[in-house]
Amino acid sequence: MKISELRSIYLKFFKEKGHSVIASASLFPEDDPSVLFTSAGMHPLVPYLLGQTHPEGIRLTNVQKCIRTTDIEDVGDTTHLTFFEMLGNWSLGDYWKKEAITWSYEFLTSKKWLGFDPNKLSVTIFAGDEDSPRDDEAAEVWKSVGIPDERIYFLGKEDNWWIAGNSGPCGPCSEMFIEVDEIPKCGPDCRPGCHCGHFVEVWNDVFMMYNKSEDGKYTPLKQQSIDTGMGVERTAAMLQGVPSVFDTEAFIPLIEKIKELSSMEEFSKEEDTQIRIIADHVRSAIMIMADDRQVGPSNVEQGYIVRRLLRKAIHSADRLNIGTGFMIELTDLVVDMFKDVYKEVERNQEFIVKNLKAEEEKFRKTLTKALRRFDRIFQESNTITGQDAFLLFTSFGLPLEMTRDLAEERGIAIDMEQFTKQFEEHREKSRTATQGKFKGGLADHSEEITKLHTATHLLQTALRKVLGKEVTQNGSNITDERLRFDFTFSRKLTPDEVEQVEKMINDVIAQDIAVEQSFMKYDDAIAKGALAFFKENYGEEVSVYNIGEFSLELCGGPHVKSTAVLGKFRIAKQKKIGAGIVRIRAVLESNS
């Protein structure tokens, strides 16, 4: 079965079970909930899992584009990817474990749908701990559909508990694994969750029933919800009976092209891994750059991830004697693969090509400097310590793999332990930072953050009234201390304009205007003049917030009930952050 068919029959199946099909949200979390990327289908739905009303109803299904940077070091094995698509179905306070599991089983095994052999299906279930009991309810449902005890595994929180970040909606989950005959079990203890490749996880049903607070406490959610996620590329590989995601049509054209561009005839196992890394990393970077926000490689946030992916790909390409410009050759293939599913990919092709070209040139220049530094360190100390390797990585963008190869060429081995330790510490820090970034996100409904969400709507309208309609939102980020708003405009505001914007907002606040939510068709909202951040994020039926007559904007919320609680609005800082983009930081102060 082809990937395109898998996508469409999944949606068809859940449509038949009463679900509304919603569009994939952007890879950049909407309304910037302050995570770098959408990394699971449930991210854009967090407010609804917490109880907000979704305009499309209480049963939803979709295909979601995802980026998982935490998997970057695993790319090259049979299943891990940095960009992938996830199929999902959601119950928002509606059906529960019985329906979710029964439907998962039906879709996976019925000949009418995926038709996997039920004897090859194993499942895992939460074993229970001090926070939540063993999930016997899920086990009973699996048994009732015919999964025998020996293919039901009870595992702990690391395997069978889902939460995005550190806090927010969460609960026990049940994962489904297909056994791959071609890869034998690695030993008597081989079980689902083992990395040898025998058991491939294809789907995860999460039973959202708690909210975890920042201080680690679990409280029951006011509604129980279902969140499921099925990896498209993995499931396609299993359906096609091929040994890895790289053997599906999501990668075959890319891999063939990479091989063709290399002057080599034969490829070792290690070289095959490099080819997989190139294909994955270039594909992911292209999909990130394809977003209408047009973020190219840089040293910050999402741009940094694009840079890291591309530099690693260039390094791997160099090892296979692939000349410059290969990433541009791959672009057409990626665009062809996705242009019918995600329209923005073709729309932004020119931007992507321009950036790929510029980044390769830039990296090759930095590389000369990095190599000079490498040689100097080597001449001075006759070795390259793990610390040196780490410095070359953080200061010059020299991929760790490249430093290792250079050292090997000079006949020295890097102290991998020291190197890995530093790297792991760095990874851990960035992982914690990424998780920390969830604070202030859609999952965070603290009073301050809610107020700043409303203030952001006021700011956008005020800017458009003072500066003109060319002002449109380019990004927004909220912590409990300040809002940050990026918008298109050619220059910074004059002091007089800053004053006008502040006064206009403070007047609206003083009038204590009601903030109201309504639901309507996307086209009707636009016809009424509602501001929409990016079209791709919205389904047909949308949630709209109005602040009296002053502001009308598409948004999932949350917002304050009326404006007086906001206090006093002040623009704290403004800065030009790129050609035609200005960034404002603003705060709310108490009136007293």
Residues near ligand SER (CB under 6 A) are 40-42, 88, 162, 204, 206, 227-229
Of 35, 16, 54, 34, the closest CA to residue 539 belongs to 54
Closer of 153 and 162 to ligand SER (Cβ): 162
Task: State how far the alpha carbon of 123 is from the alpha carbons of 79, 133, 276, 477, in Å.
Answer: 18, 18, 29, 39
Per-residue tokens: 410? 């000079």
Shortest approach of ligand SER to residue 104 CB, angstroms?
11
Shortest approach of ligand SER to residue 201 CB, angstroms?
9
Instruction: Report the alpha-carbon distance of residue 166 to residue 439 in Å, rounded.
Output: 8
Closer of 40 and 478 to ligand SER (Cβ): 40
Q: Which residues, including other chains, have CB under 8 Å from residue 554's CB and lie 6 or more apart?
A: 522, 525, 530, 531, 532, 533, 538, 542, 543, 544
Of 390, 302, 292, the closest CA to residue 345 belongs to 292
Q: Which residues, including other chains, have CB under 8 Å from residue 281's CB and lie 6 or more apart?
A: 75, 82, 309, 310, 312, 313, 316
Closer of 204 and 244 to ligand SER (Cβ): 204
Shortest approach of ligand SER to residue 220 CB, angstroms?
19
Closer of 104 and 349 to ligand SER (Cβ): 104
Helices (H), 73-135: 97-109
The vertex-78 CA angle with 228 and 427, nearest 5°, equals: 75
Shortest approach of ligand SER to residue 160 CB, angstroms?
11
Give the number of other CB atoms < 10 A from CB of residue 8: 12
Shortest approach of ligand SER to residue 149 CB, angstroms?
25
Query: What does the buried/exposed string (b/e) look like for 441-473 if buried means 16 or more CB atoms within 10 Å of the residue's CB?
Result: bbbbbeeebbbbbbbbbbbbbbbbebbeeebeb
Task: State how far the alpha carbon of 451 is from the alpha carbons of 52, 169, 331, 561, 584, in Å.
Answer: 17, 21, 42, 10, 17
Q: Which residues, including other chains, have CB under 8 Å from residue 385's CB and lie 6 or more apart?
A: 414, 415, 418, 419
Closer of 101 and 547 to ligand SER (Cβ): 101
Shortest approach of ligand SER to residue 454 CB, angstroms?
29
Closer of 163 and 509 to ligand SER (Cβ): 163
Tokens 């692939």 belong to residue: 322
Shortest approach of ligand SER to residue 410 CB, angstroms?
43
Query: Crossing angle, helix 269-289 and helix 326-338, to 10 degrees?
Result: 60
Closer of 201 and 280 to ligand SER (Cβ): 201
How many residues can be counted in the chain?
Answer: 592
Shortest approach of ligand SER to residue 64 CB, angstroms?
9
Shortest approach of ligand SER to residue 2 CB, angstroms?
23
Helices (H), 410-494: 416-436, 447-467
Shortest approach of ligand SER to residue 27 CB, angstroms?
15
Residue pair 17/59 in contact (Cβ under 8 Å)? The answer is yes
Rg (CA), the chain: 25
Of 151, 141, 144, 78, the closest CA to residue 120 belongs to 151
Shortest approach of ligand SER to residue 179 CB, angstroms?
20
Closer of 206 and 544 to ligand SER (Cβ): 206
Instruction: Report the alpha-carbon distance of residue 99 to residue 91 in Å, rounded.
Output: 10
> Residue 558, preceding bond cis, omega within 30 degrees?
yes
Shortest approach of ligand SER to residue 459 CB, angstroms?
33
Closer of 165 and 229 to ligand SER (Cβ): 229
Closer of 42 and 555 to ligand SER (Cβ): 42
| DSSP classification of residue 61 | E
**Quick one: which H or E segment has residue 208?**
strand 199-212
Name the residue with the smallest CB distance to ligand SER.
Answer: 229
Backbone φ and ψ of 582, nearest 5°: -115, 145
Shortest approach of ligand SER to residue 348 CB, angstroms?
26
Instruction: Report the alpha-carbon distance of residue 311 to residue 254 in Å, rounded.
Output: 18
Shortest approach of ligand SER to residue 10 CB, angstroms?
13
Strand order in the sheet with 541-547: 515-521, 541-547, 551-554
Instruction: Report the alpha-carbon distance of residue 190 to residue 198 in Å, rounded.
Output: 8
Instruction: Report the alpha-carbon distance of residue 262 to residue 356 in Å, rounded.
Output: 19
Closer of 64 and 454 to ligand SER (Cβ): 64
Closer of 40 and 508 to ligand SER (Cβ): 40
Closer of 28 and 162 to ligand SER (Cβ): 162
Closer of 231 and 399 to ligand SER (Cβ): 231
Closer of 161 and 390 to ligand SER (Cβ): 161
Shortest approach of ligand SER to residue 371 CB, angstroms?
40
